[in-house]
Amino acid sequence: MKRKNLIRNILIVTALGIAIMFFTNVIFAASTAKITVETANLRESANEDSRILVQLSLNDEVEVLQKSGNWYEVKTKDNVTGYLREDLVEVSGDVEEVSNQENNTEAETEEPQEQETTETSTESTSNTRIVKENTKLKIVPTINATDIVEVKQNDEVIVIETIGDWICVESGTTKGWIRSDKLMTLEEKAKQDEEAKAAEEAAKKAEEEKTQEQSAKTMYANSATVNVRKEASKDSSIVEQISLNTAVTVLSEEGGWSKVSVNSKEGYVASNLLSSSKTQETVTSRGSTTTRKSTEETATQPETTTTVSSGKGATVVETAKNYIGYSYKYGASGPNSFDCSGFTSYVFKLHGVSLSRTAKAQYSNGVAVARADLQPGDLVMFGPSVAGINHVGIYIGGGQIVHAANASRGVTIDTINSGYYNNNYVGARRVI
């Protein structure tokens, strides 16, 4: 009898074990999701303003824990748990959905704690900072506080203490409050100056090489009579007249005009009146000579055929290419790392053009450009819609853009004629 009871107990335990394993597998069978955008922010809570825990790239896979409203709670392969918006992922399998009220209650509970931590984290320091731009010191650390004194860009101030996003500094004999994002360290200033100088030298070198290449170019007058003018204007005085097939040395080109040297004189010729090869002449039966263009036709022809913007756009592209291989960092705008809109803002700023900070905001800069009319230097935007623009790059020609792609690829070149960028193309803007 005891043996039968023992066997029966063993069978019961075995059956219970199998049942537990079965139900455990059912319970823990997780749904998965794949990232469908170039870069997705995994946030601490289901809120656009919550802290970013990590950035995920296109096609990364995560485990879906539950859904709350238009947010998914997910876990990455590195066991980081956070929230992703539903429009950033493609989910496979069923997902448990919880009420928004429960999630909002948690968010409301956590937010005051974070705020309290920020407000009580007062740190005393005593070091030097550099002012990034002209601003005014406040009597207390709030935006609407009374101004005390103005501090200038590149002024040095001494840090007294820090409260949240505000820093109490001493400028001369005056103490006041300034936002931390208006200051940088001496090391950051030195590095910024070094990077700016390197970028300026690179742009200058590229321009010099372009000028040298152009200066070695020989062109030929393609009309019976061509005027060499003192200035780059058809109303400027004539310094020399040259005939058909006269060779000139092109020193530079800009705005549809070529600066040339001919017969020991320098002046300007409309670029459309010059050709890279000589014009063929034809002799008639009466012995007279005809040319491809007559003097009268030359006089009525427009003298400007190119635009300044196309040349500047090409220069912007050359500058942008100098940063290929630099790292991607969310919220960074140079000079050593960038996010997508930080990269475009930084490059255009080097050419005197100020852009809005985000990709979506940059869609309101400049003028709209049809996809068929894209030129080097145009901004190209991507996303599920105009309202959902989440990426921007600089068009370089040939259906390609240079852009700060994501954390794994950094600044690189991609085609917009296939794949993700072709499917999520929103529009383009010309800002230069």
The catalytic residue positions are: 340, 391, 403
- CA 397 – CA 417 distance, rounded (Å): 12
Spatial CB neighbours of 119, under 8 Å, sequence gap ≥ 6: 163, 164
- CA 152 – CA 77 distance, rounded (Å): 48
DSSP code at position 371: G
CB distance 279 to 287 below 8 Å: no
The partner residues of 67 in beta bridges, in order of sequence, read 72, 97
Residue 352: both structure tokens together: 């005197």
CB distance 254 to 222 below 8 Å: no
**Per-position DSSP letters for 286-330, written without gaps between them:** TS-EE-SS-HHHHHHS-S--S-HHHHHHHHHHHHHHTTTTPEE-T
Element (H, E) at 22: helix 2-27
Our CA dihedral for 54, 60, 63, 69, rounded to 10 degrees, sits at: 70
- One-letter identity of residue 86: E
CB distance 56 to 46 below 8 Å: no
DSSP code at position 333: B
CB distance 44 to 50 below 8 Å: yes
